[in-house]
Amino acid sequence: MSRRWRTEVVVFVILAAAAYAADDRNPLAGDAKAAKAGEYEFRINCALCHGLGAHGGGRGPDLTRAVKKHTHSDADMFQVISNGIPGTAMPANGTNGQGVGMTDEEIWQIITYIRSQEVKAPAKPLGNAVHGKDLFYGDANCSLCHMVEGKGGRLGPDLTAVGGSRTREAMIDSVRDPSRRLAWGLTEATKEFPHEYESVTAVTADGKEIKGVTLNEDSFSVQIMDSNEQIHLLKKDKLRSFQKSRQSAMPKYDADVLSDKDLEDIVAYLISVGAK
């Protein structure tokens, strides 16, 4: 390596380090005006899932919680907003079909806004996660249909990540009234809406009745998982009947079936897993 080469490499490394350092901290941290500008941007680009005020809607986590699963530093948050989170509904900047692509400055404004909304402690103490796990795999029968960390049933959505991506209120709501907002299933790369966990009853040409949930569907075919976790791949024009329902296959867990305290414990368990 020539001396000139070495110098250039050293300069490059220093410059790269400087650039990284510049990205590592929020240049607008604590700036009230930037937080206000961030609020406008947040309403346009983020509130769709994270709710007005960043408290979390039915689809995205509550960002006012100081502890976040995917982001610790402002730099983490910048990366997540810019690039999205693979395998989740969190899209890369400018690709959510709503709002416009944000500049770096606008992303920092949003981070400033989110930080300004954070509350340092949970509003309510969490329940007993150990007891929640017992209930999940035991008396509450959740695991008959839901998997957590590779264990459980397949008929309902995998709940391993739900504690990190949904608000506590949304989780409680979907146990108490599962049909009010059906869970999202498969998301296809180019499709506007994710598939939803609709209930279905199909009767084949030879009179066989299939009951379950749709894994996917289009105008001409449907892919069903029945309550025995068998997959049925059906062409609609070959069916004797095909009935869908937005009544969730999951039973309603009223307070007399599952007490508020037990539900809090299950939610605490899901949050403890989701935070991993």
Partner 1 sequence: MKGRGVFVKFAIAIFECVLIAGPLAHAQVTFERLLNAAKEPQNWMTYSGDYSGKRFSQLDQINATNAHTMVAKWVYQTGATGKLETTPLVVDGILYATGQDDRAFALDARTGRPIWMYQRQLPSDIRPCCGRVNRGLAILGDKVFMGTLDAHVIALDAKTGNVVWDVVAADYRTGHSFTVAPLAVKNLVVIGVSGGEYGVRGFIDAYDAATGERKWRFYTVPGPGEPGHDTWEGDSWKVGGAPAWNTGTYDAATNQIFWPTGNPAPSNRGEGRAGDNLYSNSFLALNADTGKMNWYFQFTKHDEHDWDATQVPVMIDSGGKHLIAQANRNGFFYVLDRTTGKLVSATAYGKTTWSDTKDADGRPVAKKEASPTLEGHTVCPGALGTTNFMAPTYDSQTGLFYVTARDQCDIFSTAPQPYEAGHAYYGSAYFPSEEARPYLGFLKAIDPATGEVKWKFQHTSPTWSGVLSTAGGLVFSGDAEGNFIAFDAASGKPLWHFQMGGAVYAAPIAFAVDGKEYVAIAAGSAVYAFGLP
Q: How far is the CB of 129 from partner 1 (least distance, A)?
A: 29
Q: How far is the CB of 39 from partner 1 (least distance, A)?
A: 8
What does the binding site for partner 1 look like in residue numbers (CB under 8 A)? 37, 40-41, 43-45, 47-48, 52, 57-58, 94, 97-103, 106, 180-182, 188-193, 196, 217-220, 246
Q: How far is the CB of 173 from partner 1 (least distance, A)?
A: 11
Q: How far is the CB of 43 from partner 1 (least distance, A)?
A: 4
Q: Which is nearer to partner 1, 124 or 191 (CB)?
A: 191
Q: Which is nearer to partner 1, 225 or 268 (CB)?
A: 225
Q: How far is the CB of 169 from partner 1 (least distance, A)?
A: 14
b/e per residue, 162-183, with b = 16+ CB within 10 A?
bbbbbbbebbbebbbebeeebb
Query: 3-class secondary structure for 138-178?
Result: CCCCHHHCCEECCEECCCCCCCCCHHHHCCHHHHHHHHHCC
Q: How far is the CB of 193 from partner 1 (least distance, A)?
A: 5
CA distances from 230 to 16, 220, 234 (A): 54, 20, 13
Q: Which is nearer to partner 1, 102 or 148 (CB)?
A: 102
Q: Which is nearer to partner 1, 41 or 262 (CB)?
A: 41
Q: How far is the CB of 246 from partner 1 (least distance, A)?
A: 7
Strands, DSSP E only, in the chain?
147-148, 151-152, 199-204, 209-217, 221-226, 231-235, 239-245
CA atoms within 13 A on the CB side of 90: 22
d(CA 44, CA 239): 44
CA distances from 208 to 97, 198, 228, 241 (A): 41, 20, 15, 10
Backbone angles phi and psi of 208, in degrees to 5: -75, 130
* Encoded amino acid at 18, one letter: A
Q: How far is the CB of 234 from partner 1 (least distance, A)?
A: 14
Q: Which is nearer to partner 1, 92 or 257 (CB)?
A: 92
Phi-psi domain of 183 (left: phi exceeds 0; alpha: psi -120 through 50; beta: other): beta
Q: Which DSSP category does 236 fall into?
A: G
